[in-house]
Structure 1
Amino acid sequence: MKAARIHTYGGAEVLTIDDVEKPTITDEEVLVKVIASSINPLDWLLRSGELKDLIPVSFPHTLGWDFSGIIEKVGSKVTKYAVGDAIYSRPEVSRHGSHAEYIAVPAVDIAIKPRTVSFASAASLPIASITAWQALFEKGELKKGQRILIHGGAGSLGAIAVQLAKAQGAYVITTAAENDHEFVRSLGADEVIDFRKVRFQDVVSDVDVVLDTIGRQVQVDSYAVLKHKGILVAVNTYPDLELAKSYGVEARFLSIKPNGSHLKKVAEWVDNGRLRPIVGHEYSFEDIAQAYSLSESGAAKGKIVLHVSTP
């Protein structure tokens, strides 16, 4: 089979498409023919070596975090899934990556893909939806009628978070560049702040939850807009707990793991119209280098999806 692998850390030149053997599975895993896989910034950050202390891998390593596909083989202890099932997942990437024609993944980490969308759309969802779900409803404890500020509402994570928060019945405020305002309003945002022209802390106050997707000074400035005992959830920079305490608020950091049960809930929300995937760019597997270049440029809008094979 074909797999996009790295044999060392580095720039775009270290990513190669290799011929490798299909992975074998344990009794509790399934072997999946990958139909589509999406690209996340985490992919090229891992390739570059920036994440080597957080996510150690052995070389050669197959990249990729999100995918959708069709089960080709099931382990002897797998009872919930069968050969031919269309599934989607975010695997544990320290072992197998999804930028390959086949992947072995524990059955507990998968879910039946949303039936109302394509494989490409399903492949865009796992990391963003699991992160948004856990950030909003578990770490952030977001409830109906509460006010939330979501930083970066037009990004791949922010776009999912805006939709989930609105579906939960929250009042949603988000930051986005002016040319993305119509887009994030279409997702359900009640207020949109142009972060290039307006300091959000000058116009936002008394929110119950902040979802910080940016970090750095944005995180520091966010404490002041929270209500007393409000919650800031950070997903990429560990928050200063003492600073949060000085503002009378809580700060929590989210580190996600594969979670099939959450993906099952996300699929239900997609199929009942409460959540829509945002696919911005699609590439063939052979053009993976171009797809990575687009992701690294920061110019992508919506998820970047690779068409790995056909159903």
Structure 2
Amino acid sequence: MTTTTAIGYENNLPTNDPASLIERTIDVPALGAHDLLVEVRAVSVNPVDVKLRAGAHAGGFRVLGFDAAGIVREVGDAVTLFAPGDEVFYAGSIDRPGTNQRLHGVDERIVGRKPRSLSFADAAALPLTAITAWETLFDRFALTPDDTGTLLVIGATGGVGSVMLQLAEALLPGVTVIATASDPERAAWVRELGAEHTVDHHGDLAAQVLSLAPGGVDWLFTAHSEGQIGLYSQIVRPFGQITAIDDGPRDIAPLKAKSITWHWKLMFTRPLHQTPDLIEQHRLLDTVAGLVDDSRLRTTTTRTLTPINAATLREAHELVETGRTLGKIVLHDGN
């Protein structure tokens, strides 16, 4: 087979326009030495997909998608981690065509074995958010099982927050987790995933947080940092740390008086820059798969759409654009 089907965009259009995401026949990707050719069985939609479709120049026809679960069909000459027939899950790289295609090329060093206990659909919900949550907790914050303190997760009901709560519950027994949730349904969701306390970000967040952590929180994760630096300077303790995954503010001067550390987090940094520790994403995803199969971590799928086509992807993009999704939206072809 020399061609495959892909879904992408040519122009930045709203989701109610049928041309916002369209189907095309493209060439099957040529494999590099460390590449896998994966038959994609399920994908999920992340805010980065929506952001790029709405505002990034396509440069012709751009295929989106940063989560996939599927089956390895071919391997490059230097591949050692996988073989044809292996079931895998991964988040890809922002500098290569995305996963919204039937046959997808990806570097083996950012791929993990699919959790045996999950369907392709439920596995596809996890890679991007699990990598982001893991690298925030264990690379940016450098937390260990011996650490104690308080972690505030802002945007806790989204994909990344929903995994971060579980990782903290499973691997950081001394860390107390406060999660934001705006209604009883979302409060129940985050408590079920491991949060000890919930706060409503629509209320007086500083007062709520400081009533639970009077000296301020030790670590703050945020998916929504723009315009919030004054607030964060109130609720993070001296020498505390913040990690943001959005484009965020440009003026973080209010944090200086408390010597608060600001981290940026982009889960594509390793594959984008081919860092020497690139294989850490493979190891991370294998660890996540083990936690799932040991019933210490669960999928965050809350809605599934089928089949994978332009219409269902437009529907998923529209839902994610609301900013009100709980967990992850997954598309699959009946698996």
| Same fold by TM-score greater than 0.5 | yes
Say yes or no: does 1:157 pair with 2:160: yes
Residue 178 (structure 2) aligns with: 173
Cα distance 1:254–1:190, how it changes in 2: closer, same or farther (>3 A)? same
- Normalising by structure 2, we get a TM-score of 0.85
Match of residue 290 from structure 1: 315
Change (3 A) 1:64 1:125: same
Q: Distance in 2 between matches of 1:76 and 1:261?
A: 21
1:142–1:209 contact (8 Å) kept in structure 2: no
Q: Do the aligned residues in 1 keep the contact of 2:177 with 2:196 (CA within 8 Å)? A: yes
Instruction: Identify the range of structure 1 (262-271 vs 29-38) with the bigger mean alpha-carbon deviation.
Output: 262-271
In structure 2, list runs of 5 or more residues that go unmatched: 272-280
1:200, distance to aligned residue in structure 2 (A): 3.4
> After the TM superposition, which residues 271-310 of structure 1 pair with which residues of structure 2 at under 5 Å, given as runs?
271-284=293-306, 285-286=308-309, 287-307=312-332, 309=333
Larger CA deviation: 38-47 vs 208-217: 208-217
SS in 2 for 1:216: coil
* Whole-angstrom CA distance in 1 between matches of 2:14 and 2:290: 39
Post-superposition shift, 1:239?
6.0
Call closer, same or farther: CA 1:240–1:272 in 2, change over 3 Å.
Answer: farther
Q: How many corresponding residue pairs?
A: 305
TM-superposed deviation, 1:19: 2.2
Q: Distance in 1 between matches of 2:95 and 2:59?
A: 8
Looking at structure 2, the residues matched to 21 and 76 of structure 1 have their Cα atoms a distance apart, in angstroms, of 20
Aligned residue runs from structure 1 range 58-97, under 5 A? 58-97=59-98
1:51-90 Cα offsets, whole Å, 9 max, x none, are 55xxxx6421111010010000011111121000000111
- Provide the C-alpha distance between the structure 1 equivalents of 2:209 and 2:89, rounded to a whole number of angstroms: 40
1:246 aligns with 2:246: no
- SS state of the match for residue 259, structure 2? coil
Cross-structure match for 2:11: 8
1:132: how far off?
0.7
The yes-or-no answer on 1:20 pairing with 2:22 is: no
What does residue 111 of structure 1 align with?
A: 112
Query: Unaligned 5+ residue runs, structure 1?
Result: none
Question: TM-score, length-normalised on structure 1?
Answer: 0.92
- 1:30 match: secondary structure: strand
User: CA deviation digits over 1:87-106, x for unaligned, max 9?
Assistant: 01111132211011110111
| Alignment RMSD | 1.8
Asked whether the equivalents of residues 218 and 236 of structure 2 are also in contact (C-alpha less than 8 Å), the reply is yes
Q: Helix, strand or coil for the counterpart of 2:99?
A: coil
Matched residue type, 1:110:
V
Quote the sequence identity (%): 30
1:218 aligns with 2:219: no
